[in-house]
Amino acid sequence: MKEYDRFLAHVREIDACTRIWKRLDFDRQCCAPKGGLACCGEDLAQIARRIHELRCAPEFLEAMEGCLGQGEQLTEMELRSVQYQYELYQREKNLSAEFAQELSRITGAAFDGWVQAREENHYAVFAPCLKRVIEAFRQSAANRDKKYAHIYDACLSDFERGSTVEQMDAFFGELKEKLAPILKEGKPAKTPEPLFRAEVPVEAQKKLSLRLLEAEGLCMEKTSLVETKHPFTQLMSRNDVRVTTRFYRENFVSNLYTILHEGGHAVHYTNLPEEFYTNGMTAAPTFGMQECISRFYENVIGRSRAFCQWVVPLIREYFPGEAGRITPDQLFSYVNAPRREPIRMQADEASYCMHILIRYELEKGFMSGEIPVEEIPALWNKKYEQYLGIWVSNDNEGVLQDVHWADSIGYFPSYALGTVAAAQVYYRMNEDFPVYEAVERGQLYRVKEWLVSHAFDGNMAGDFFTWIRKVTGRELSVDYFVAYLKEKL
């Protein structure tokens, strides 16, 4: 048997276990009753241990080294797939299977702790869980062969290949400086709020959501839509992608934009290079790439005048009551109104990245030990006041609003990278066809076609900055994002 075939056989086993893990996690996040959460957590921990054992198995290492070192003739894509698995192996090779299992228990308990803390609107309930998560991540980073200048570099590079604090400090520094005048200028506009608070039954919202997912180019035989507390999208297999959302009867707009965003993740997952589905690389693209696609659909498309023109007739069709009386102009000004809100998911486009900057600074601080866990809420609130002029009045609208810290540290910067890059992708796409003319006609499939042919290729296995350069022909630049925001203002 060729080394590469041996490698692939092993990858298939890891992939199968990963899918089992995802199904259990989906069950935990979307349907398990509160009483079942602990058992879900224990099952997930067992599978996490098994995945770790497979990843670090001597025969798998032998196959990888055989492919990498013995000069076996591999295609470029084959080589990339081996390098990617080797990268994952390097992260875990010095950790024990017990540690992998324990880490999963810790993050599982933190998820439950977060749910409980949200119910009580009390950070102190979550704090001990977060402390254990941070300690486990520190231990994991310290055990790698690679020595990092900053311990938080390990967290960043798990989501953005090769990313460092130095690089992110520079990125956020520039972003903060260039956004300052825009944030100063934006004044809350007068929007016809009552119309947007009209009650819309969940069933009607669900029907429109499916219509939007279809418009984004998703095949509904391969896509399902389920309700959850903290929306996410999961790729189970090539023909099975699960989109989740949250419906509010008195705020139908919230779900519209969640659907556009999560639908973007589903577009990404179902249009990866063909080989990725069999060579273990579906998770190889960095999260900045993924968020770039999602934020593109949510913002560049969703908050455009063209989209509002197209979607309002649909809103009228699906919501014949009061909500159906809105006009495209009203929707456009509502979703683009400057909003200085404590909740990240409700932020306007201009201030969104400041929400991310706050999380970035806190993660960097608590990973290095400079910020004790007990002090996070006070610092969180202080930064909101300082950077955004927002007074946070309780933990749920402050430090407890995101679930991320229950099991991932270092993800947030990917949102900012993706947001900035989405504007750059827009200008490049517009060179090829008038994007908004197509959107106004409801031809969202043209957007998908462009993305598939320009952005979804083998380069997705590399780092974010190289990928965006290859897609747009230019280095990542904050200037596109600033120009995009100014055009809107």
Number of residues that bind Zn ion (CB under 5 A): 1
**Cβ-closest residue to Zn ion?**
294
Least separation in angstroms between CB 464 and Zn ion: 14
- List, edge to edge, every strand of the sheet that includes 223-227: 223-227, 240-245, 233-237
| Cβ 91 to Zn ion shortest distance, Å | 23
Phi, psi of 12 (to 5 degrees): -60, -35
Nearest approach in angstroms of CB 329 to Zn ion is: 28
- Those residues whose C-beta lies under 8 Å from the C-beta of residue 436, and which sit 6 or more positions away, are 304, 305, 306
Alpha helices in 146-251 (DSSP H): 151-159, 165-185, 193-196, 202-215
Burial class (CB in 10 A: 0-12, 13-18, 19+), 177: exposed
Site pattern 294..333 for Zn ion (x: CB under 5 A): x---------------------------------------
Residue type, 363: E
Give the separation between CA 319 and CA 334, rounded to whole angstroms: 18
Task: Kindly identify the residues of this chain, within the stretch 339-358, that bind Zn ion according to CB under 5 A.
Answer: none
Please tell me whether residue 234 binds Zn ion under the rule CB under 5 A: no
Q: Toward Zn ion, which CB reaches closer, 140 or 351? A: 351
Nearer to Zn ion, 81 or 351 (CB): 351
Residues 6 or more apart whose Cβ sits within 8 Å of residue 301:
260, 307, 435, 439, 444, 447
Alpha-carbon dihedral sign for residues 159, 162, 165, 169: negative
Q: How does DSSP classify residue 297?
A: I
Which residue lies nearer to Zn ion by CB, 294 or 351? 294
Cβ nearer to Zn ion, comparing 315 with 455: 455
Beta carbon nearer to Zn ion, 271 or 294: 294
Site for Zn ion in 142-201 (CB under 5 A): none
With respect to Zn ion, which residue has the nearer C-beta, 293 or 312?
Answer: 293
Tell me the β-bridge partners of 225.
Answer: 243
Least CB distance to Zn ion at residue 99 (A): 29
> Measured from the CB of residue 291, what is the shortest distance to Zn ion in angstroms?
5
Q: For residues 28 and 37, is the Cβ–Cβ distance under 8 A?
A: yes
Distance in angstroms (rounded) separating the CA atoms of residues 176 and 167 = 14
419 lies in the binding site for Zn ion (CB under 5 A) = no
Residue 107 in contact with Zn ion, rule: CB under 5 A = no
Helix (H, G, I), strand (E, B) or coil at 287: helix
Binding mask 280-299 for Zn ion (x = CB under 5 A): --------------x-----
Contact between 258 and Zn ion by CB under 5 A: the answer reads no
The nearest distance, CB 255 to Zn ion, in angstroms, is 15
CB nearer to Zn ion: give 398 or 418: 418
Residues that bind Zn ion (CB under 5 A): 294
